Structure 1
Amino acid sequence: MLIVPEHPMLSVRRQCELLGVPRGGFYYEPVAVNPEDLALMRLLDEQYTRMPFYGVRKMTAWLKTVGYYPDVKRVRRLLRLMGLMAIYRKPNLSLNGTDHRRYPYLLRGVPVLRRDQVWSTDITYIRLRGGFVYLVAIIDWFSRYVLAWRLSNTLDAGFCLEALDEALLRGLPDIFNSDQGVQFTSSDFTGRLEQAKVRISMDGRGRCFDNIFVERLWRSVKYEDIFLHDYETIGQVRTGLGRYFPMYNDERLHESLDYRTPGQVYFQGFAGGHA
């Protein structure tokens, strides 16, 4: 599969339509924002990575301590734009006129004792020099192994479905956990899981600690790669993360895994003392 941005006859949009893939993952242009918003978004990203439990009002108050004075409405808008607040489907606004099915959170108090017992997913904001893109990843809870990831400059469900399809080639989890964002409540996404007989779990709206292993992954990705590089394009980010995730899976030792790598635990099935 090859998208040619400079094709003399076919636009990127048309090439993606012909190949049946979402165009957001192949555009090389990041989402553009004005410089003032971009500066605020960089600060919000760094603070959210440190303090994922901060809500809009605390974020607004924190910005004042570092010399920025946006109002609450603006901070909320930027956090939603960045994907750092789940974007929920409003009642009666789905295309077929009905709400999405409500799925309970299935993992409270459940010990995770083996690979492929629980997978989970989330979307995060990846800053670029002149804008940003979105990253989705799917992780195995037991081993912390990253099963699949995709980048996009849109928040449509297409790049999430691509990641899910790749992950499902490795096997099937008993439970798949996500937040209630529209990408993960879409009929295409839940339908894939239901067809595979996978139980669906969804976080409560105060989500950051329901999906704690993905939040920890985002912290590692940002401190160990994104914040260390001043990426300019989605192509550069894709190349950088293409190096980072194999290192994370196969070389990076985790204290919680008894100083083993996620790959060792996922493929050998031993995780030391953690549950």
Structure 2
Amino acid sequence: MKHLSPKQKASIALAALRGEKISKLSSDYQVHPNQIGKWKKLAEEELAVLFTDKRKKENHSQERIIDELYQTIGRREVEISWLKKNSSLSYPERLTLANKEHPDISTLRQAELLDISRSSIYYQPTVNPGDIQIMNSIDKIFTQCPFYGHRRIKPELKEEYGINIGKKRIISLMKEMGLNAIYPRPKLNLSSSDKQHKKFPYLLKGLPIIRPNQVWGTDITYIKLKKYFAYLVAILDWYSRYVVAWKLSPTLENIFCIQALEQALKINKTEVHNSDQGAQYTSLNYINILEESEIRISMDGRGRCMDNIFTERLWRTVKYENIYLNEYADIGEAGQGLSEYFKFYNEKRRHQSLDYKTPAQIYFAKY
């Protein structure tokens, strides 16, 4: 658990008292849900004590309370003014606006207001430029041939891109990128799960997909940028191919997956949620949201990316039609470009498998 000041603990307890989900608070502040529950209970008890012998305390503390209220009101005015400027922005755009040197709003409070993780404000990618070039080449090979493991990628790198590197380095880079061939084999990537977490069976074998929101599939992929890279998560409706929600992140912290899920659930609710067995999807915080929403949980067999084939096809489409055609400088620029692309993909791009209708037409039955 992170070391938090008494003031920070009080802030978390008050947020819990206000009705914010303990699972979200746990994820945002990296504190165990049970601990937050204890702080919430303690806060309830202490608040009751504050109102005992009210008359005696009222006169004594009136001046102090007024001073604190003025300070709070002033702070809220600064926060509201700042938040109004930033409220309509995407996650990567909000990320770029966080200011560690802000004179009036702490980084913790900025993270709360912008709905981003505090650690992402301090995150500075340190990537070898040579590695970026190799990773981008690996990404192109893997996008075209998702059944390729490191043994096939090695000669392909040499022949197609003139890159001659060893097996161990390829494995290491694939692990960082989150790539794994579709046939069953030991995990090398972000899909490796925490052994203490509960696993769920694959529920979709032989299941006919006949309506929107019957099944949502989700996955994470590597996105190349000019000097470093980012991770993209999407939640896809399998029947209509409609992208219900997506998020970009500079790190693999599970908060961006949780935010994508919460965004999707504001739009609709699925009967079955399918994912790989990655740590992001087997985390307690993520599972709790699904179970609280009474959504059945399905997980791919280990190493079986083809169990989530529709999302794999989405990545190929996104990369060939957008990522590879645009050399995005940073995560903010990528977020803006992908926002425009997903709007086009959902509302304008006609799919042969949908009888040349758009995903939005099928998802919202507008035809």
Q: Structure 1: which amino acid aligns with 2:242? A: Y
Q: Structure 2: which amino acid aligns with 1:80? A: K
Q: Structure 2: which amino acid aligns with 1:154? A: T
Counterpart CA distance in 2 for 1:259 and 1:77 is 41
3-state SS of 2:179 partner = coil
Does the aligned pair in 2 maintain the 1:119–1:139 contact within 8 Å? Answer: yes
Moved more, 108-117 or 10-19: 10-19
1:207 CA drift (Å): 2.4
Does the aligned pair in 2 maintain the 1:26–1:152 contact within 8 Å? Answer: no
1:172 CA drift (Å): 1.4
1:104 CA drift (Å): 0.6
Does the aligned pair in 2 maintain the 1:38–1:131 contact within 8 Å? Answer: yes
| 1:89 aligns with one of 175, 193, 204 | 193
3-state SS of 1:160 partner = helix
Task: For residues 243-275 of structure 1, give each alpha carbon's deviation from its aligned partner in whole angstroms, at most 9, with x where no partner exists.
Answer: 0001000000000000000000000077xxxxx
Alignment of 1:31-50 (within 5 A): 31-50=125-144
Partner of 1:127: 224
1:169 CA drift (Å): 1.1
3-state SS of 1:134 partner = strand
Higher strand share: 1
Gaps of 5+ in 2: 1-82, 87-93, 181-188
Q: 1:81 to 1:265 in 2, by over 3 A?
A: same
Partner of 2:16: none
3-state SS of 1:228 partner = coil
**Structure index of larger Rg:** 2
Correspondence 1:219 to 2:335: no
Q: Structure 1: which amino acid aligns with 2:281? A: F
Partner of 2:262: 165
Alignment of 1:220-259 (within 5 A): 220-259=317-356
Task: For residues 67-121 of structure 1, give each alpha carbon's deviation from its aligned partner in whole angstroms, at most 9, with x where no partner exists.
Answer: 2222222111111211224421353xxxxxxx11110111111110000100010
Moved more, 14-23 or 128-137: 14-23
3-state SS of 2:253 partner = coil
CA RMSD in angstroms, aligned pairs only: 2.1
Counterpart CA distance in 2 for 1:269 and 1:38 is 43
3-state SS of 1:204 partner = coil
State the TM-score, normalized to the length of structure 1.
Answer: 0.88
State the TM-score, normalized to the length of structure 2.
Answer: 0.67
3-state SS of 2:307 partner = coil
Partner of 2:19: none
Does the aligned pair in 2 maintain the 1:83–1:134 contact within 8 Å? Answer: no
Alignment of 1:36-75 (within 5 A): 36-66=130-160, 67-75=162-170
Aligned residues: 262
Task: For residues 216-250 of structure 1, give each alpha carbon's deviation from its aligned partner in whole angstroms, at most 9, with x where no partner exists.
Answer: 11111111111111110111001101100010000
Q: Structure 2: which amino acid aligns with 1:48? A: F
Q: 1:246 to 1:42 in 2, by over 3 A?
A: same
| 2:243 aligns with one of 146, 158, 182 | 146
Moved more, 140-149 or 165-174: 165-174
Counterpart CA distance in 2 for 1:109 and 1:220 is 25
| 2:362 aligns with one of 265, 268, 274 | 265
Correspondence 1:5 to 2:98: yes
Does the aligned pair in 2 maintain the 1:24–1:153 contact within 8 Å? Answer: no
| 1:175 aligns with one of 272, 277, 294 | 272
Task: For residues 46-66 of structure 1, give each alpha carbon's deviation from its aligned partner in whole angstroms, at most 9, with x where no partner exists.
Answer: 111101111122222322323
Task: For residues 110-167 of structure 1, give each alpha carbon's deviation from its aligned partner in whole angstroms, at most 9, with x where no partner exists.
Answer: 1100001000100011101101011000000000000000010010100000000010
Q: Structure 2: which amino acid aligns with 1:5? A: A
Q: Structure 2: which amino acid aligns with 1:118? A: V
Task: For residues 175-225 of structure 1, give each alpha carbon's deviation from its aligned partner in whole angstroms, at most 9, with x where no partner exists.
Answer: 100001100100011110011111101011222211111111111111111
Identity of aligned residues (%): 48
Does the aligned pair in 1 maintain the 2:347–2:358 contact within 8 Å? Answer: yes
1:21 CA drift (Å): 3.0
Gaps of 5+ in 1: 92-98, 271-275
Does the aligned pair in 2 maintain the 1:116–1:142 contact within 8 Å? Answer: yes
Q: 1:170 to 1:25 in 2, by over 3 A?
A: farther
3-state SS of 1:230 partner = coil
3-state SS of 1:138 partner = strand
